[in-house]
Amino acid sequence: MKRDMVTFKGINEGIYLEVYGSDIELIKKELDEKISKQLNFFQGMKFLGVKAEGLTPEQVLEISLILKYKYDFVFDTEEDPLNRASKIFVEKDRISDDLSEGMTKFLYGTLRSGQVIEYNGNIVVVGDVNPGAVLKATGNIIVLGVLKGVAYAGLGGNNDAIVAAYDFMPTQLKINDIIVRAPDGGISQYRSPEVAKIYDGEIIIEPYLPNK
- Each residue's pLDDT tens digit, 117-172: 999 999 988 788 999 999 999 999 989 888 999 999 999 999 999 999 888 889 99
User: What gap in Å lies between CA 199 and CA 180, rounded to an integer?
Assistant: 13
Q: Can you give the residue ranges of every domain in the chain? A: 6-89, 96-207
- Residue 1 half-sphere exposure, CB side, CA atoms within 13 Å? 2
The pLDDT value given to residue 161: 92
Judged against a pLDDT cut of 60, whether residue 184 lies above it is answered with: no
CATH class of 96-207: mainly beta
Q: What is the dihedral of CA 71, 76, 81, 84, to 10 degrees?
A: -160
CB 165 within 8 A of CB 186: no
Taking alpha carbons only, the member of 164, 211, 191 closest to residue 61 is 211
The pLDDT value given to residue 209: 57
CB 55 within 8 A of CB 19: yes
CB 8 within 8 A of CB 30: no
The pLDDT value given to residue 17: 92
- Each residue's pLDDT tens digit, 31-59: 988 888 887 787 778 888 899 988 887 78
State residue 36 phi and psi, 5-degree precision.
-60, -30
- Kindly report which listed range (23-37, 53-67, 165-179) carries the lowest average pLDDT score: 53-67
Beta-strand runs (E) in the chain = 6-11, 14-19, 46-51, 74-75, 104-108, 116-119, 122-126, 134-137, 141-147, 150-153, 163-168, 172-175, 178-181, 194-199, 202-207
Residue 102 identity (one-letter amino acid): G
**Which sign does the torsion angle of CA 202, 204, 210, 212 carry?**
negative
Residue 153 identity (one-letter amino acid): A
Q: Which helix or strand (DSSP H or E) is residue 60 part of?
A: helix 57-65
